């Protein structure tokens, strides 16, 4: 299965909505909401600080004691919570770890220049000796070694310096005007030798002297790092208790500036960032007629689709349609399915169609692509004889005028050839000439004088042929179809797909764990389980039904070209995924919306689909190199903000093990010659089962109702079984690294779920409190109790 959206909650709606509430044990009443609001309002400052810590800090440890973790965390208690909120608003993350920084996963992509960045003393120290490091990217990441900082004031000062660097990314940024007060402060500090010696690097002091201490916009931009260093250093002196008096004595003006920030300045910055965040979260889209016009869909077809979206309470998302195909579809031109792989054209008189000669397509001039396209077209005609063919291209007056208006062709002078009248069609192409017959509107082409094609050919006038499809006994030319980006029905719609007997059997199960798992499996089976179809690609039963509904609706508008939606969604296009800047959306209210870039599409889906009760899953090739077109498309999980390529599915796990076996010719266990080892070995079967359950009852399903417990539990079970495998002396060394890597992936993902569960417990502490020799139900009850208490 593809990873399921966080919004697919395992829930049950009231009986009036045909789903039992008791199935999920979710009872959120108005009084609960009011009580939660009151509790939030009455939180103490200590609790607010704790929340800030939980949202920011990730703890990674193996052998260090809790005392050292606490002492490391105490460093953050000495700075205002507003500073942590600034860090959070910047998208920052803080890691407490006992791993050497040179081995930390977040620091593996550092450049040599970054590794040699200055410490608080303005020195470039070996990266291997670092115990704290601020990684500056679009969002800051602070990695802190777990140490006894209480006994080493210099090390604690270094930590505060790196924190200061993180927030200085916003306070002193090339994209923002420098705070006038800070700017004046720098000028005054440059006139005071004690202050400048304390806070400025020698290099910066020399630059100031060369510039006659004149600080303008260009000087700031050229020396941004030095300004950030001065701020960060002052920040470290001010908040490191043993060093504050040094700042007050040698740089009193800077001390006063930091004091103002502590007493309200940081709060103002935090509030400003929050407001910017609100603005940033606004999704800039086109709506209504503007969205429809930009989408490329035929208006009458879109109107028919919105009735279906309303009736079935479903989001229907389309990839952009070639604008040159819109009027072709409207006029009844057929649309291509998966049985035609040739590329359409975006130039010349054949624009919008799929030329049999692929040198007339958008791949013009690309020898390998043209050769491949020509073979594909011939193959389509041979393998689908009677269904797919080719016909001469004909253009009527309206089509010629449309191409002229779009600047694609010009209708030129008249010529007579063998007593027949033609009109030249001028284009910017350097290889071909075009003309149209006045008698039958057929379009011809030939190579220009002295020119040859990319395949080394030259020829006189011949008909342009385009790919065609048999529609009710008539071959109709082909154009691009409507590509679905996604379909997102409400869970109540998916519930209608489930046979009542199956549903009743599950919801009447007394065991809560089994009930939740059972309901999830039904939603998976009837909502997400997809099968390959030879003509329509990979899709579920309800998706097939949706395609039929969409195509029938278009035919009722008078369209005569057959189907316009020919295959499954981009969600399942794992071989050749494509990234589109614009996505056209019809929501369940029947509104037309067009997102303007990939990020906006993700945010729209997060806010309106995965953030609500709609079923959605992501293309599993995202954040990987796609096997077909080798595309790498980033997609971030809308809830955890993590890349979705986290824990493998059961199938991927087995596939990974098989890959290691093929390359090493060694089984998971030493001296194993069993070819069916993966299916027979109990530990491998258990891990695969837990991974399957992890996604079946997944974090994605429970997120909106704060019910990720089953996924967390399944993840911990998988982790425990992997621990057993690694402890086994029988495991082959070729597999050890993979299982270690898998263990780390599970740890990181489950910790994310714990964080978003608002649980204060660390993954490894939770793991140690569970007893996997008990039966599963008892262990799950213990697990739930621990989670609820935390």
DSSP per-residue letters across 547-615: HHHHHHHHHHTT--SS-S--S--GGG--SS----S-EEEE-TT--EEEE-SHHHHHHHHIIIIITTTB-
User: Which residues, 6+ apart, have CB-to-CB distance to 665 below 8 Å?
Assistant: none
From the number of C-beta atoms within 10 Å of its C-beta (0-12, 13-18, 19+), residue 27 rates as exposed
- Asked if residues 422 and 442 have their Cβ atoms less than 8 Å apart, the reply is no
Which tokens sit at 227? 């300004």
Residue with tokens 């705070």: 179
Instruction: Confirm whether 341 is a catalytic residue.
Output: yes
Phi (first) and psi of residue 100, to 5 degrees: -60, 140
Closest CA to 595 of 273, 640, 587: 587
687 with 753: CB under 8 angstroms?
no
Contacts made by residues 713-718, CB under 8 angstroms, sequence distance 24+: 713/780, 713/783, 714/690, 715/647, 715/690, 715/746, 715/749, 715/750, 715/753, 716/750, 716/763, 716/766, 716/767, 716/770, 716/783, 717/686, 717/690, 717/772, 718/647, 718/687, 718/690, 718/691, 718/694, 718/746
Give the separation between CA 385 and CA 381, rounded to whole angstroms. Answer: 5
Whole-angstrom distance, CA of residue 21 vs CA of residue 764:
34
Which residues neighbour 607 within 8 Å (Cβ) at sequence distance 6 or greater?
281, 283
Asked if 165 and 136 count as a contact pair (C-beta separation under 8 A), the reply is yes
Which of 341, 384, 567, 700 is flagged as catalytic?
A: 341
CB burial of 105-135 (b: ≥16 within 10 Å; e: otherwise) equals ebbeebeeeebebbbbeeeeeebeebbbbbb
Q: Which of 754, 667, 748, 745 is nearest to 708 (CA)?
A: 754
Give the closest residue to 578 by CA, choosing from 569, 586, 570.
570
For CA atoms 728, 734, 737, 740, the dihedral sign is: negative
User: SS3 of 696, please?
Assistant: helix
By the 10 Å C-beta count (0-12 exposed, 13-18 middle, 19+ buried), 562 is classed as buried
- Got the DSSP string for 387-418? TEEEEE-B--HHHHHHHHHTTS-EEEEEEEET
Distances (CA, A) of 167 to 66, 136, 142, 231: 28, 10, 11, 10
As a whole number of angstroms, the distance between CA 322 and CA 344 comes to: 10
| Positions marked catalytic | 341
């Amino acid at each position: 299965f593809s990873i399921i959206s966080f919004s697919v909650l395992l829930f049950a709606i009231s009986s009036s909505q045909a789903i039992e509430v008791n199935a999920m044990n979710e009872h959120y009443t108005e009084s609960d909401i009011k009580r939660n609001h009151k509790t939030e309002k009455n939180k103490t400052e200590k609790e607010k600080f704790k929340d800030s810590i939980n949202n920011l800090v990730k703890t990674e440890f193996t052998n260090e004691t809790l005392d050292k973790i606490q002492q490391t965390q105490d460093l953050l208690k000495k700075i205002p919570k507003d500073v942590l909120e600034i860090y959070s608003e910047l998208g920052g993350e803080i890691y407490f770890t006992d791993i050497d920084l040179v081995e930390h996963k977040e620091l593996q992509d550092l450049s040599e220049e970054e590794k040699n960045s200055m410490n608080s003393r303005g020195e470039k120290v070996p990266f291997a000796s670092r115990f704290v490091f601020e990684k500056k990217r679009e969002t800051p990441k602070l990695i802190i070694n777990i140490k006894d900082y209480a006994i080493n004031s210099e090390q604690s000062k270094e930590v505060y310096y790196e924190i200061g660097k993180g927030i200085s990314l916003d306070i002193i940024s090339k994209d923002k005007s420098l705070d006038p007060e800070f700017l004046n402060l720098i000028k005054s500090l440059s006139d005071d030798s004690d202050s400048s010696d304390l806070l400025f690097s020698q290099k910066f002091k020399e630059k100031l002297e060369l510039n006659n201490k004149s600080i303008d916009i260009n000087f700031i931009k050229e020396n941004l790092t030095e300004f950030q260093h001065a701020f960060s250093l002052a920040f470290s002196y001010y908040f490191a208790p043993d060093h504050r008096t040094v700042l007050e004595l040698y740089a009193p003006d800077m001390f006063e500036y930091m004091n103002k920030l502590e007493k309200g300045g940081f709060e103002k910055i935090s509030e400003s960032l929050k407001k910017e965040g609100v603005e940033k979260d606004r999704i800039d889209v086109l709506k209504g007629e503007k969205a429809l016009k930009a989408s490329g869909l035929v208006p009458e077809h879109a109107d028919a689709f919105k009735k279906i979206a309303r009736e079935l309470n479903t989001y229907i998302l389309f990839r952009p349609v070639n604008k040159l195909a819109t009027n072709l579809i409207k006029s009844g031109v057929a649309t291509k399915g998966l049985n035609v792989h040739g590329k359409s054209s975006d130039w010349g008189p054949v624009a919008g169609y799929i030329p049999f000669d692929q040198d007339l397509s958008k791949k013009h001039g690309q020898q390998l692509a043209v050769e491949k396209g020509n073979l594909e077209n011939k193959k389509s005609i041979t393998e689908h004889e009677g269904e797919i063919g080719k016909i001469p291209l004909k253009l009527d007056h309206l089509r010629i005028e449309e191409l002229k208006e779009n600047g694609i062709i010009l209708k030129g002078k008249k010529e007579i050839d063998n007593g027949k009248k033609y009109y030249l069609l001028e284009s910017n192409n350097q290889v071909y000439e075009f003309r149209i017959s006045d008698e039958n509107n057929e379009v011809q082409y030939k190579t220009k004088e002295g020119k040859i094609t990319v395949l080394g050919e030259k020829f006189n006038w011949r008909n342009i042929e385009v790919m065609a499809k048999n529609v009710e006994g008539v071959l109709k030319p082909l154009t691009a179809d409507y590509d679905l980006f996604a379909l997102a029905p409400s869970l109540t719609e998916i519930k209608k797909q489930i046979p009542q007997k199956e549903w009743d059997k599950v919801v009447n199960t007394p065991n809560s764990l089994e009930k939740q798992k059972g309901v999830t499996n039904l939603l998976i089976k009837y909502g997400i389980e997809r099968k390959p179809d030879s003509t329509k690609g990979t899709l579920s039963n309800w998706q097939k039904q949706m395609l039929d509904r969409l195509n029938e609706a278009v035919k009722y508008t008078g369209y005569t070209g057959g189907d316009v939606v020919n295959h499954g969604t981009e969600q399942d296009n794992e071989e050749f995924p494509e990234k589109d800047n614009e996505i056209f959306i019809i929501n369940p209210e029947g509104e037309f919306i067009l997102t303007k870039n990939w990020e906006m599409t993700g945010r729209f889906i997060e806010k309106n689909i995965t953030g609500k009760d709609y079923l959605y899953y992501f293309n599993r090739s995202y954040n990987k190199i796609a096997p077909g077109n080798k595309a790498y498309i980033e997609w971030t999980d809308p809830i955890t903000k993590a890349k979705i390529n986290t824990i493998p599915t059961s199938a991927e796990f087995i596939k990974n093990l098989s890959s290691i076996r093929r390359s090493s010719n060694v089984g998971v266990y030493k001296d194993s010659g069993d070819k069916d080892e993966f299916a027979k070995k109990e530990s491998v079967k258990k891990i695969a089962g837990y991974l399957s359950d992890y996604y079946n009852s997944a974090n994605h399903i429970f997120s909106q109702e704060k019910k990720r417990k089953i996924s967390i539990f399944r993840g911990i079970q998988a982790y425990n079984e992997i621990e057993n495998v690694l402890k086994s002396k029988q495991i082959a060394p070729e597999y050890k690294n993979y299982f270690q890597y898998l263990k780390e992936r599970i740890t990181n993902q489950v910790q994310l779920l714990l964080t978003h569960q608002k649980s204060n417990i660390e993954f490894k502490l939770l793991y140690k409190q569970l007893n996997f020799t008990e039966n599963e139900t008892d262990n799950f009850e213990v697990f739930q109790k621990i989670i609820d208490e935390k």
